[in-house]
Structure 1
Amino acid sequence: MYDLILKNIARFIQLTPEETDRFTSVLKPRTLRKRQYLVQAGDVFRYECFVNKGSLRTYHVDNNGQEHIVMFAFEDWWTGDMYSFLSGQPALYNVEALEDVELLLIEKSQLEQLYIDIPKFDRFFRVLLQNAYISMQRRISDNMSLTAEERYLDFINRYPHFEQRLSQKQIASYLGITPESLSRIRRQMAGKN
């Protein structure tokens, strides 16, 4: 149950057996069925979440009822509503299971205690936050400066396995285009090959 999360952590910090036991003692397993919410906009979310199995989407619904997917999370990824987690304010996003999901959750108060008990976890989660910020900045810049076709090409090059697990509508929402535009881009790309 803990193999994947411990490998994820080992990329940045090394834990002693005692530290590993302390860390795993605060993890709470949670399962979601497809279409079940981890958090809904308006609810306060107090967890860091690691995806052990399955996939989720984080999205916002605008005033016209249009969904805008902000991110996906697959196995070996961390997810949640960071705004709500850090601020204690209601979540801005919905996080919904796209498949049956197995998660490991860490409650905010237990994470704060972990920072005190094992200071290297402060570094680990700081690196995660920095990487998320870098990724968000790149996504914003790409959305402002790249064409829809360039964004799609970047998406399939960076995440080649995603396309088989996501619907065309979900990919289009993530790219900020209509499903019809995505179909047109795919047809044009197929014609070039």
Structure 2
Amino acid sequence: MDPVISQLINHFREIIALSDADTEFIIPALEVIHLKKKDFLLSEGQVSKHMRFIAKGSLYAYSLDEKGKENTTQLGIENWWINDLYSYLSGQPSRMFIQANEETTVIQISKENLEQLYKEVPAISDFWRLKMQSAYVTLQERTFEHSRVDAYTKYRNFISTYRNIEQRFPQFMIASYLGITVEYLSYLRKKHLSDVS
């Protein structure tokens, strides 16, 4: 089995039980895509028709405000899923871009293939139910944190929840994700380092 495909199968198996017969159904439903740095996986206006797993590399999702400023909404590294779930679930055009932050390998499953897998491998349905629940909880936490938590607490929560991710992305993306300026992020980093030393 291709090591990249194997990586996704092992990822599934961390949450659900899969037999060898199940994997025989799953493998043909998968598509491997290689992206160079700055390549787009999804652009604003396209409908998201795939679930996407990052096998190698990193991606980020962002939208543009009326002044053309990027607002980072998601960051993703190996073994994470990244998508515009709103577009995927509603069939509406995406309001965001998903772009490679570095050379990246993605495995994607089309909506059509995933619907078929739900019938052939019911455990995959359980996997997505758990993933969707987790995504909803994360979104709720982020929404709550955005309005009620100070920037320093946000930063500390971010680096403790997503260990090692900070080194993978430029400062402006991290700052945008946290809703602060690059200068303020730099100040928070220094403050954190002096607090833990």
- Partners of 1:164 and 1:188 lie apart in 2 by 17
2:44 corresponding residue in structure 1: 41
Q: 2:134 aligns with which of 127, 131, 135?
A: 131
2:170 corresponding residue in structure 1: 167
Consecutive unaligned residues in structure 2, runs of 5 or more: none
2:96 corresponding residue in structure 1: 93
- Partners of 1:118 and 1:186 lie apart in 2 by 46
Q: CA deviation at 1:191?
A: 4.1
2:157 corresponding residue in structure 1: 154
Q: 2:116 aligns with which of 104, 113, 116?
A: 113
Residue 48 of structure 1 aligns to a residue in which SS?
A: strand
- Partners of 2:192 and 2:89 lie apart in 1 by 42
Instruction: Describe the shift of the 1:16–1:191 C-alpha distance in structure 2 as closer, same or farther (beyond 3 A).
Output: closer
Q: Deviations over 1:15-52 (max 9, x none)?
A: 11111011011100101111111001111110001110
The answer to whether the aligner puts 1:142 opposite 2:145 as a matched pair is: yes
2:181 corresponding residue in structure 1: 178
| TM-score for the superposition, normalised by structure 2 | 0.94
Q: CA deviation at 1:183?
A: 1.4
Q: CA deviation at 1:3?
A: 2.0
1:78 corresponding residue in structure 2: 81
- Partners of 1:185 and 1:119 lie apart in 2 by 46
Residue 18 of structure 1 aligns to a residue in which SS?
A: helix
The answer to whether the 8 Å contact 1:83/1:92 transfers is no
Q: CA deviation at 1:174?
A: 0.6
- Partners of 1:187 and 1:130 lie apart in 2 by 35
1:16 corresponding residue in structure 2: 19
The answer to whether the aligner puts 1:4 opposite 2:7 as a matched pair is: yes
- Aligned-residue sequence identity (percent) comes to 35
- Partners of 1:23 and 1:183 lie apart in 2 by 45
The answer to whether the aligner puts 1:61 opposite 2:64 as a matched pair is: yes
Structure 1 outlier segments of 4+, above 6 Å: none
1:188 corresponding residue in structure 2: 191
Paired residues in the alignment total: 193
Which AA in structure 2 matches 1:146? V
Q: Deviations over 1:75-130 (max 9, x none)?
A: 00111111111111101211000011101111111111111112221111111111
- Partners of 2:191 and 2:11 lie apart in 1 by 38
